[in-house]
Structure 1
């Protein structure tokens, strides 16, 4: 049977190439499915064993299963079917370069994700610019390896980059200033993602992300403020979370001159401590304070110092405390005076 079919294919070589192409496509498809299934099973196994290193590795490698199968199948066909040496040399180099390129791209993402997930605190405060820098370093390393493998000298490339570097730097002056300002912000550690900041212009909110060009700030009204990194680095910024996440605030209250100040202080502190015990938003280790500070026109002014676990919690705590204090003052018959003036008229 083979003797009958062989002459038919020998007279029609295009059919041989078509058969090889079809077989290659089928093999690529089956192999990619097998590799994908293998990566998924290894990912699930590493997930059960809580191995973060392999879990991230197989998770990032799974989308490239088809590309990996193409490299493997092409390598097999180069080994099985003899072709011209120069063509085989070019194809072999192309396969190796493709493999290094794939490994570089996956390693960049793998290292960036791994660097974030190895620390829970870092995972919350990670910024885009740090991920970008990690990837750029890996890409640069992979590029150097590929150039060395292809026997391409780096010196002429570096010389060309040095000559054109000045023109590029002038053209990208604003972009580079923002990039280095963002790196400076991250290096100092005084402004981090997740911090609540107030700019000198008056805007305030949470740092969402520090990108390579700008920083995103989410306000309490859920709006996004986009500020260039260079402007943020050169502005006076108040960071409420630099020491800790707690926010200290005061409530102003005025009492009548006829009030017993010892009683007033006791009542205020009792209500503050009750609120502290009942609310999770009030830090348990903080001691509320009452300070009388002024004999005003209508009454004696005092400040009540309270604390909130986060910046935005102060508004709800202030709201609840004022309701409780107003109700308690009525019960204890402590008068909150109206603005009044006493006028003496001469007869």
Structure 2
């Protein structure tokens, strides 16, 4: 026991042997950490539903060995007399570079995962472009931060450079303000899931059509006149949008009609309801309803309300409902009024 203690003290008194001991311990720790990641944590991560832990472990296992090794070298070299500020800066720079590479790998793995699991499954091209864009922005931020930390490790004052970059950034942001507004608007539309490709929408400004594509800067809307409208995403993000496909594809169709004064309102309702049963696109649930709304100047105003299973059938169903109501009223001898004006003349005699 005393011999082991003597050997250990001898090693600690010799800086070279002490360095080798630290290096060996570091290698053992690095190997054990890598072994735990690959043999223990990786199988556990594969059993979970999410793939995020798999990606993190995959990225760590490929580079954590070198991070621990560099830390071991840094600790070991602290006991040498030739240690200088330059040496410490070199070790810190190497450590910063390895950590930066690790973060960049994690960003790349996450980007590939999101593209495979999310973006490629949607018809929109916004998320296909958004994820690579965010990946590049994230990598640029990591590189910039790495450069700043490297300069700091070498005691280089970069305050004037940061001030200049800040002023340049403000000037550039003002120059591309509209473009940035459209890009962030596209991000907001994708994250909020306001609509998707194929949805029928109506804008606050009156445009009605089907979404062809959601791009990063603009969205394509195809009208029913076969025209394509390109709308900046910045405008769409700040306007009211009626989405006919939400919360589901079913939609109500309303048809206004009027009958002449003196008509039996109950008979009108029965006649029209029987006529609506002939239309196969009209759903039985919710049941069709007829409402007597008001007594206008020359007619009794009604509204027929029916439901269809898909908004694509709404217009054709409305035409059928209008036709059936007209024919049913005529067949039942219920008059359909038109604007009339009675003129009274007074003789001067």
TM-score normalised by length of structure 1: 0.56
Indicate the SS of the match to 1:274: coil
- State the match for 2:305 in structure 1: 305
Q: 1:112 aligns with which of 101, 104, 115?
A: 115
Q: Deviations over 1:58-96 (max 9, x none)?
A: xxxxxxxxxxxxxxxxxxxxxxxxxxxxxxxxxxxxxxx
Alignment of 1:88-107 (within 5 A): none
- State the match for 1:315 in structure 2: 315
- State the match for 1:169 in structure 2: 173
Indicate the SS of the match to 2:278: helix
Aligned-pair CA distance for 1:304: 1.0
Q: 1:134 aligns with which of 117, 127, 131?
A: 131
- Aligned 8 A contact 1:297 1:341 in 2: no
- State the match for 2:229 in structure 1: 225
- State the match for 1:41 in structure 2: none
- Aligned 8 A contact 2:120 2:128 in 1: no
Aligned-pair CA distance for 1:346: 5.2
Aligned-pair CA distance for 1:344: 4.8
CA distance in 2, matches of 1:340, 1:241: 42
**Over the residues paired in the alignment, what is the CA RMSD in angstroms?**
3.6
CA distance in 2, matches of 1:164, 1:132: 26
- State the match for 2:243 in structure 1: 239
Task: Give the structure with higher Rg (CA).
Answer: 2
CA distance in 2, matches of 1:174, 1:223: 25
- Aligned 8 A contact 2:119 2:127 in 1: no
Indicate the SS of the match to 2:262: coil
Kindly report structure 1 stretches of 4+ aligned residues shifted beyond 4 Å.
104-111, 137-145, 152-164, 343-347
Aligned-pair CA distance for 1:175: 1.1
CA distance in 1, matches of 2:109, 2:139: 11
Equivalent pairs, count: 234
CA 1:154/1:285 → structure 2, altered by over 3 Å: closer, same or farther? farther
- Aligned 8 A contact 1:257 1:299 in 2: yes
CA distance in 2, matches of 1:235, 1:243: 19
- Aligned 8 A contact 1:112 1:134 in 2: yes
CA distance in 2, matches of 1:232, 1:140: 24
* Pairing 1:258–2:262 present: yes
Aligned-pair CA distance for 1:270: 1.5
Indicate the SS of the match to 1:235: coil
Indicate the SS of the match to 2:221: strand
Aligned-pair CA distance for 1:212: 1.4
Indicate the SS of the match to 2:242: strand
Indicate the SS of the match to 1:314: helix
Q: Any unmatched runs of 5+ in structure 1?
A: 1-52, 54-100
Indicate the SS of the match to 1:320: helix
Indicate the SS of the match to 1:249: strand
Greater Cα offset, 244-253 or 261-270: 244-253
- State the match for 2:80 in structure 1: none
- Aligned 8 A contact 1:105 1:139 in 2: no
Indicate the SS of the match to 1:286: coil
CA distance in 2, matches of 1:219, 1:339: 34
- State the match for 2:37 in structure 1: none
TM-score normalised by length of structure 2: 0.56
- Aligned 8 A contact 1:298 1:341 in 2: no
Aligned-pair CA distance for 1:227: 1.1
CA 1:286/1:255 → structure 2, altered by over 3 Å: closer, same or farther? same
Aligned-pair CA distance for 1:179: 0.8
- State the match for 1:190 in structure 2: 194
- Aligned 8 A contact 1:108 1:139 in 2: no
- Aligned 8 A contact 1:195 1:239 in 2: yes
Aligned-pair CA distance for 1:166: 3.3
Q: Deviations over 1:128-158 (max 9, x none)?
A: 222222223455678899x8xxxx9575699
CA 1:174/1:338 → structure 2, altered by over 3 Å: closer, same or farther? closer
CA 1:302/1:167 → structure 2, altered by over 3 Å: closer, same or farther? same
